[in-house]
């Protein structure tokens, strides 16, 4: 691997606050459970030095007075939980990739991939959901399937990955698929869409294709 899975690489300013309400998290909790059951999110002592992997986020509807794009995301090292509660979600309030800096509030610190999620929301203001999973099948079949891939020089949770995400998002194929593979992040795959259903279906569809060629 070219990165250290599960370890926050950016400068984080986090304010511990009470959890969000269950009503705000229902869709995320449901899809996160599906991704866990598909082993696209999880924790395995034989993979990635035992660190948890995978995360999911949802952008908070824009408030006119707020210029940033805050979003809810699963907390750091929550991959081992089969189901998440509100205590395992947090809110990224601001992200400055050029400064390698993230600010957040909630009962837990955000996922180490928060900067990747933030970059996607910055690049496309229409996106509402981002899913970052680990799929050896998709990752190893990327070339055969003709999937867009970020540069292998960019590790997870870094400013280099933020730049790589901006670059891969300029490709029409990336936008058409709603998905790309993280070349410098072992098994890393990201799907994105205006709804959780669209992001989830895009991911599962490519997974089915990967199963056919593996």
Q: What single string gives the DSSP state of each residue in 135-198?
A: -HHHHHTHHHHT--B--TT--TTSHHHHHHHHHHTTSHHHHHHTEEE-TTSTTEEEEEESSHHH
Place of tokens 């970052």: 132
Examine residue 22 and state whether it is found in any structural domain, yes or no.
yes
Q: What is the pTM of this model?
A: 0.91
**What pLDDT, on a 0 to 100 scale, did the predictor assign at position 84?**
96
**Across 32-36, 138-142, 161-165, 172-176, least confident range:** 161-165
Q: Pick from 81, 74, 84, 110: which is nearest to 95 by CA?
A: 110
Higher-scoring residue by pLDDT: 173, 1: 173
Tell me the average pLDDT across 140-157. 91
User: Which CATH number covers residue 57?
Assistant: 3.40.225.10
The H or E element containing residue 34 is helix 22-37
Residue 42 is assigned to a structural domain of this protein:
yes
In a domain, 168, yes or no: yes
Whether 171 maps to a domain, the answer reads: yes
Residue found by looking up tokens 């698929």 in the block? 177
Total of domains in the chain: 1
The Cα 154–Cα 162 span in angstroms is: 8
Q: Tell me whether residue 2 is in a domain.
A: no
Residue 3 included in any domain:
no
Average pLDDT value for residue range 50-73: 81
What residues contact residue 168 under an 8 Å CB cut-off, 6+ apart?
148, 149, 150, 174, 180
Summarize the confidence of residues 91-112 as an average pLDDT: 89
Give domain status of residue 178, yes or no: yes
Question: Model confidence at 51, in pLDDT bands (50, 70, 90)?
Answer: confident
Separation between Cα atoms, residue 106 and residue 72, nearest integer Å: 9
Task: Report pLDDT for 1.
Answer: 38
Question: Domain range spanning residue 195?
Answer: 11-213
Return the number of other C-beta atoms located less than 10 Å from residue 197's C-beta: 12
Does the residue 1 lie in any domain?
A: no
Q: Are 159 and 97 in contact (CB under 8 A)?
A: yes
């Amino acid at each position: 691997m070219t990165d250290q899975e599960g370890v926050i690489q950016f400068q984080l300013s986090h304010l511990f606050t009470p959890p969000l309400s269950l009503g705000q998290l229902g869709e995320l909790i449901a899809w996160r459970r599906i991704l866990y059951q598909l082993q696209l999110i999880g924790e395995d002592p034989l993979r990635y030095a035992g660190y948890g992997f995978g995360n999911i986020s949802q952008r908070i509807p824009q408030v006119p007075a707020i210029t940033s794009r805050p979003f809810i995301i699963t907390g750091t090292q929550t991959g081992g939980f089969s189901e998440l509660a509100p205590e395992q979600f947090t809110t990224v309030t601001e992200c400055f990739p050029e400064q390698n800096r993230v600010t957040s509030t909630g009962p837990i610190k955000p996922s180490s991939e928060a900067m990747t999620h933030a970059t996607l929301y910055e690049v496309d203001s229409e996106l509402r959901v981002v899913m970052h999973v680990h799929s050896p099948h998709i990752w190893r079949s990327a070339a055969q399937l003709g999937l867009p891939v970020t540069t292998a020089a960019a590790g997870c949770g870094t400013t280099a990955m933020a730049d790589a995400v901006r670059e891969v998002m300029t490709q029409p194929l990336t936008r058409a698929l709603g998905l790309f593979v993280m070349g410098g992040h072992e098994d890393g795959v990201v799907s994105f869409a205006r709804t959780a259903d669209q992001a989830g279906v895009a991911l599962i569809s490519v997974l089915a294709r990967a199963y056919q060629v593996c």
